[in-house]
Structure 1
């Protein structure tokens, strides 16, 4: 197998891990105004992701860094063409991170409400715009013969990409609700479970619409198969949530995200950014990649350090595996 293909697959794995882990972070942040009836319950919701949210964002940094090093042409065209939405995502992530740190610095009610709003907006904006961005990548964008983006911001807000944004919003919020039900006990566990049941009824038709549209426009066999598997996993989350089998329900929503990302990248391959102006202008794993020497060096670095990072993050989740309840939150 060529190293360009290996690194395309590795970048797909990094994005899948990011959506799996940061997805429930976004979901909890979006649900914060709805599950937090008072200060203690809001703190309980935040504490479920408190030890892990910043570690989950490392997957995004590594995915971006790997793209820059392995496929510099892809990175350059993506970040120049999608500059405004990616800037909005970056600002939202910064505001969200600051909100987590500064929320508890003062005891004022108005102070904490402002930071709670920052957490909500900082979670909502990326949850939508990631779907819009990947919807456009899969659909294709105007790329000229110099591999430069030749469109505008408004062109990115097409119906297919917007449906992709609604899909990631629905899936992340459902994923977060199931995570809250899994990580808490008492009234919040019941409330989060009920919210998850309702959200599942919304997420299924929205995601189904996006998958059907994708299947009609992209007939790749493996992509369709993975999309169907993602749909099955998503539907299975409904009875599991109703049965209060939160662990299995979280596995189902997680599998939905992993399979959806896998379907996206499989359908995209060997392109990394298709051109709607001329297929000959499309960026592929071959014309957008770094030199073979660079890819070899990166491969050896990944072989040594990736297992260490996975072990450390797995250990973090193991340490903080306990369910939380209101009695754990001081008055």
Structure 2
């Protein structure tokens, strides 16, 4: 089995895909959170400022999910096939919401009529919230496992996805991204909108803390396999400890009105949540409720060693380029939002 730095190619791809999807949730997450909060802004100027806060970056942030999907298809085609066929309806809803979010942002400013702008405001906010919620629903079902047999074909129905844990995870994800988006917006605004957003940041943080506590209790009580790795390797307990400290630091920095530090802590929280999920799933990628023998793992679902090796080189070149471009865009458009004739 081919290795790099003592780690096999399958594990490298597992780590790479996890890192790319984490990057997507961090970057597009604040866009989705900002969109979910959009209808809470009553004034036209406030809505325009909120839109233009994400205007230069939202479409670039979506590139990360395209990279993640491509990486999953290249590295683990059987997981890709089973996942997308099993979650066909959620993924179609996800794609429709992405389309409506994009056209809402672009179409809103094309006409001056109030009804026109209000229609796209509603579309933008609902589609953003739906995307965030669906991400959580999919994650909740992946951590529980799906009704999958030896042929790795999904045998269940759509209603199975709407179970209490998946819905709870969906609301928790929405709460997390609303907090993430509120913190980002408060860094980009000033005056009255800034004051309004300071209240939103506090409220969304309280919402997230409540939801993450409920989800954590549910996970420990009803999904014991999601703590098996930490029980087997107690030294890994530092990961959830760091996550708790990161969440605590969000509240601390918000109180001190150091929103950049709060935003970094929010991003770290997202990263550590993804690390926890990956740590407890590995080496599995998609769990079967029928039998552990039917799990899709990094070993039985991976592409050939040659494919993994070649694509790992491509990823090592391509991902840093995308990360560099993303950094460049953020540095170019840093600072408070100012409306002009080119604004949305």
Partners in 2 of 1:276 and 1:141 — Cα distance?
6
Partners in 1 of 2:251 and 2:32 — Cα distance?
20
User: Is 2:239 aligned against 1:226?
Assistant: yes
- Conserved? CA contact 2:74–2:303, under 8 Å: yes
Q: CA deviation at 1:5?
A: 0.4
TM-score, normalised to structure 1's length?
Answer: 0.96
Partners in 1 of 2:107 and 2:343 — Cα distance?
18
Residue 15 (structure 2) aligned to one of 4, 9, 14:
9
Cα 1:325–1:190 shift into 2, 3 Å: farther
The aligned residue for residue 3 of structure 2 is none
Cα 1:225–1:134 shift into 2, 3 Å: farther
Partners in 1 of 2:99 and 2:214 — Cα distance?
32
Residue 35 (structure 2) aligned to one of 29, 33, 52:
29
The aligned residue for residue 122 of structure 2 is 117
Partners in 2 of 1:187 and 1:23 — Cα distance?
24
Residue 112 (structure 2) aligned to one of 103, 107, 124:
107
Partners in 2 of 1:193 and 1:214 — Cα distance?
31
TM-score, normalised to structure 2's length?
Answer: 0.92
Partners in 2 of 1:235 and 1:24 — Cα distance?
19
Aligned pairs for 1:47-86 (under 5 A) are 47-86=52-91
Residue 42 (structure 1) aligned to one of 47, 51, 56:
47
Q: Deviations over 1:8-44 (max 9, x none)?
A: 000000111011011100111011111x221111100
Partners in 2 of 1:135 and 1:71 — Cα distance?
20
Q: CA deviation at 1:247?
A: 0.6
User: Is 2:106 aligned against 1:93?
Assistant: no
The aligned residue for residue 278 of structure 2 is 265
Cα 1:160–1:203 shift into 2, 3 Å: same
Partners in 2 of 1:60 and 1:224 — Cα distance?
29
Question: What is the count of residue pairs matched by the alignment?
Answer: 330
Report the RMSD for the aligned CA atoms in angstroms.
Answer: 1.7
Partners in 1 of 2:171 and 2:341 — Cα distance?
35
Deviates more, 1:215-224 or 1:3-12: 215-224
Segments of structure 2 that go 5 or more residues without pairing to the other structure are: 1-6
The aligned residue for residue 310 of structure 2 is 297
The aligned residue for residue 245 of structure 1 is 258
- Conserved? CA contact 1:25–1:53, under 8 Å: yes
The aligned residue for residue 278 of structure 1 is 291
- Conserved? CA contact 2:52–2:343, under 8 Å: no
Deviates more, 1:162-171 or 1:203-212: 203-212
Q: CA deviation at 1:199?
A: 1.4
Cα 1:238–1:326 shift into 2, 3 Å: farther
Q: CA deviation at 1:230?
A: 2.0
- Conserved? CA contact 1:185–1:325, under 8 Å: no
Cα 1:192–1:326 shift into 2, 3 Å: farther
Partners in 2 of 1:111 and 1:153 — Cα distance?
34
Q: CA deviation at 1:160?
A: 1.1
Q: Deviations over 1:177-226 (max 9, x none)?
A: 11111111111112111111111111102112212333442222177543
Q: CA deviation at 1:306?
A: 1.8
Partners in 2 of 1:327 and 1:224 — Cα distance?
50
Segments of structure 1 that go 5 or more residues without pairing to the other structure are: none
The aligned residue for residue 311 of structure 1 is 324
Secondary structure at the aligned position of 1:232 is classed as helix
- Conserved? CA contact 1:193–1:242, under 8 Å: no
